[in-house]
Amino acid sequence: MAHRWTNTLTHDDVTPKSAYLNRRQVMAGMAGLGLTALAPKANGASDLTPTDFDVITQYNNFYEFGTGKEDPAKNAHALTTKPWSIKIDGMVDRPGDYALSDILSKMTIEERIYRFRCVEAWSMVVPWNGFELKDLLDLAGVQSSAKYVAFETLYRPKEMVGQNYPFLDWPYVEGLRLDEANHPLTLMATGIYGKDMPKQNGAPIRLVVPWKYGFKSIKSIVRITLTDKEPPTSWNKSIPNEYGFYSNVNPEVDHPRWSQASERPIGGGFFAKRIPTLMFNGYEKEVAGLYEGMDLRKNY
Ligand X SMILES: Nc1nc2c(c(=O)[nH]1)N[C@H]1C(S)=C(S)[C@@H](COP(=O)(O)O)O[C@H]1N2
Helical (H) or strand (E) element with 168: none
Query: Do 129 and 203 meet the contact criterion of CB atoms below 8 Å apart?
Result: no
Using CB under 6 A as the criterion, what x/- string covers residues 276-295 for binding ligand X?
--------------------
What torsion, rounded to 10 degrees, do the Cα atoms 48, 173, 180, 89 define?
130
Which of ligand X, Mo ion, none interacts with 136 (beta carbon under 5 to 8 A by kind)? Answer: none
State the burial class of residue 217 (Cβ atoms within 10 Å of its Cβ: 0-12, 13-18, 19+): buried
Which of Mo ion, ligand X, none interacts with 211 (beta carbon under 5 to 8 A by kind)? Answer: none
Query: Do 121 and 262 meet the contact criterion of CB atoms below 8 Å apart?
Result: yes
Give 171's contacts (C-beta < 8 A, 6+ positions apart). Answer: 152, 153, 154, 155, 163
Could you say whether residue 172 binds ligand X (CB under 6 A)?
A: yes
Q: Which is nearer to ligand X, 162 or 251 (CB)?
A: 162
Query: Do 130 and 108 meet the contact criterion of CB atoms below 8 Å apart?
Result: no
- What values do phi and psi take at 51, rounded to 5? -65, 150
Could you say whether residue 118 binds ligand X (CB under 6 A)?
A: yes
Report how far residue 37's alpha carbon sits from residue 109's, in angstroms, rounded to the nearest whole number. 37
What torsion, rounded to 10 degrees, do the Cα atoms 56, 59, 62, 67 define?
180
Site for ligand X in 187-246 (CB under 6 A): 201-202, 214-215, 217-220
Q: How big is the site for ligand X, counted in residues (CB under 6 A)? A: 16
Amino acid letter for position 120: E
Q: Please select the residue that binds Mo ion; options are 191, 202, 214, 282, rule is CB under 5 A.
A: 214
CB of 254 to Mo ion, least distance (A): 16
Could you say whether residue 71 binds ligand X (CB under 6 A)?
A: no
Which of ligand X, Mo ion, none interacts with 260 (beta carbon under 5 to 8 A by kind)? Answer: none
CB of 75 to ligand X, least distance (A): 12
- What values do phi and psi take at 133, rounded to 5? -55, -35
Q: How big is the site for Mo ion, counted in residues (CB under 5 A)? A: 4
Report how far residue 258's alpha carbon sits from residue 99's, in angstroms, rounded to the nearest whole number. 42
Cis peptide before 166 (omega within 30 of 0): no
Q: Which residue is nearest to ligand X (CB)?
A: 214
Could you say whether residue 118 binds Mo ion (CB under 5 A)?
A: yes
CB of 64 to ligand X, least distance (A): 6
Q: How far is CA 130 from the centre of its chain?
A: 14
Q: Which is nearer to ligand X, 62 or 114 (CB)?
A: 62
Q: Which is nearer to Mo ion, 136 or 187 (CB)?
A: 187
Using CB under 5 A as the criterion, what x/- string covers residues 46-65 for binding Mo ion?
---------------x----
Could you say whether residue 186 binds ligand X (CB under 6 A)?
A: no
Give the residue among 149, 209, 216 at the shortest CA–CA distance from 185: 209
Q: Please select the residue that binds ligand X; options are 64, 71, 180, 263, rule is CB under 6 A.
A: 64
Give the residue among 194, 222, 195 at the shortest CA–CA distance from 79: 222
Q: Please select the residue that binds Mo ion; options are 215, 243, 245, 300, rule is CB under 5 A.
A: 215
CB of 133 to ligand X, least distance (A): 15
The binding site for Mo ion (CB under 5 A) comprises 61, 118, 214-215
Chain residues binding ligand X by CB under 6 A are 60-64, 118, 153, 172, 201-202, 214-215, 217-220
